[in-house]
Amino acid sequence: MITALGPGSEESIIQQTEFSIEQGVDMEKLIGTPHLFCRYCDTREGFIIVPLGTMTLQADGRVTGYSNPNEGYWQPYEYGTVAANQAFAFVGAGNKFIPSSTWQQTFAEMPIGFYCGEPEMPQKLCLVPHTNTSTNNITIVYVIATCFRFYEKTVPNLLKELLAEGIEPARIKVVVNGCEADEDRTISGISYAFSTHDAWELSALYEAPLRWEFDYAMLIHDTNQVYPGFRRRVESFNRHLKWDHLPATPMARCLLGLYAFDFLVRINSWLGKIDGISKKDAIIAEVAGELLQRAKTVLVMSDPETNGGARQTEWRETADFFNSGTLRVRRVFPAINLHKFTHIDLTDAVSL
């Protein structure tokens, strides 16, 4: 049994919802309804779902909206532990009868399947009901992580890009770490949190739930560059469950992504303890997925222009982006139209 966060109350009290595996699939709810087709992986404290694409199972056995030979068709599955009308299999487009995965369980109203092709061992899959986000009843803020030494140089251009995306100033927050004193300040309608906490981008995640109220916070760096369509992609995530974390890539690289308020409150004590962490150790914690592993429910952000599949980062050219004499490499996060300029050499990581 996995415990996941349910919706918070008005007082932001964390409520616990317990999910358990149920036998059988409700085929009436499944057939004809769009779902996210995903990989499902257990993590240290919960699970992570990585979208492969959006699909619809049609009543005549066709699979529409998603194209892969493994999921050429679907058919009832008669050989499992539940009745054939409560189970199904995806079959290959070529042979039309050999199953590539079998589905006969449900978890949190998500059908669960197991891939059964060689040479891999059985891999868990899931279908997430395609529930679109409505921003009318949730608050999403954009939190920029920066530091006292450089915020006056890096933040202004990023603010222009966010405002050009139609993001209201009241929804843009800036956390300036490494300050001599804690202070709240409003500059041109944008809230700034000057913080003595000094843990790189992790400081922004530490301060955000202490300074502001929101449902989800989108973490971005002052070394990011926003491209048109960024806001639309960020705010169109699936809302079937209350997700702790929606990272921009499957392994949450650079910590970029959406974080639920309740999740940040839950890990706030740990974030407080790593005040003063070195850049090297912060990178180790990031790459090891420490925030990802602490979350109970994770859905990787998907790319609407590739039919809802998750995408890895892409490396591009090197450039002296800040005209400071230090080369950086462009790292693209294509699912959300966001670029990041990162140092080639860790020895330069504390310099602009």
CA distance 25 to 88: 8
Domain-embedded: residue 319: yes
Average pLDDT, integer, range 307-317: 89
- CA 323 centroid distance within chain: 32
251: left (phi over 0), alpha (psi -120 to 50) or beta: alpha
Domain span at 306: 140-348
Longest Cα–Cα distance of the chain, Å, equals 68
**pLDDT classification of 318: cutoffs 50, 70, 90:** confident
Where do the DSSP E strands lie in 172-227? 172-177, 183-187, 190-194, 216-221, 224-226
- At 326 the pLDDT is 78
CA distance 261 to 283: 23
106 plus 150 within the same structural domain: no
Q: Give counts: helices (H), strands (E), the chain.
A: 8, 23
Is 200 within 8 Å of 218 (Cβ atoms)? no
- At 271 the pLDDT is 98
- At 266 the pLDDT is 98
Amino acid at 313: T
Q: What's the pTM value of the predicted model, to 2 decimals?
A: 0.90
CA distance 127 to 112: 7
74 plus 148 within the same structural domain: no
The structural domain count of the chain equals 2
Domain-embedded: residue 172: yes
Average pLDDT, integer, range 205-229: 96
Token couple for 336:
């959300």
324 plus 261 within the same structural domain: yes
Cβ atoms < 10 Å from Cβ of 227: 16
299 plus 173 within the same structural domain: yes
Closest by Cα among 185, 186, 183 to 197: 183
224 plus 326 within the same structural domain: yes
Domain-embedded: residue 38: yes
Most confidently predicted of 107-111, 128-132, 346-350? 107-111
Is 27 within 8 Å of 266 (Cβ atoms)? no
CA distance 54 to 93: 18
Average pLDDT, integer, range 37-62: 96
- At 350 the pLDDT is 55
Average pLDDT, integer, range 217-222: 97
Amino acid at 309: G
153 plus 269 within the same structural domain: yes
202 plus 232 within the same structural domain: yes
CATH code at 242? Answer: 3.90.550
**pLDDT classification of 335: cutoffs 50, 70, 90:** very high
Last residue of a domain, one of 129, 151, 178: 129
CA distance 346 to 349: 5
CA distance 192 to 83: 58
Domain-embedded: residue 272: yes
Domain-embedded: residue 256: yes
Average pLDDT, integer, range 161-185: 97
Last residue of a domain, one of 108, 129, 150: 129
Is 22 within 8 Å of 31 (Cβ atoms)? no
- The one-character DSSP state at 254 is G
Domain-embedded: residue 194: yes
180 plus 269 within the same structural domain: yes
Is 118 within 8 Å of 106 (Cβ atoms)? no
CA distance 348 to 123: 41
Last residue of a domain, one of 104, 129, 154: 129
Domain-embedded: residue 135: no
C-alpha dist (Å) from residue 217 to 127, 128, 213, 238: 26, 23, 9, 15
169 plus 211 within the same structural domain: yes
**pLDDT classification of 347: cutoffs 50, 70, 90:** low
212 plus 152 within the same structural domain: yes
* Radius of gyration from C-alpha coordinates of the chain: 22
210 plus 332 within the same structural domain: yes
93 plus 160 within the same structural domain: no
Closest by Cα among 263, 181, 186, 278 to 219: 263
E strand or H helix at 103: strand 99-107
Domain-embedded: residue 253: yes
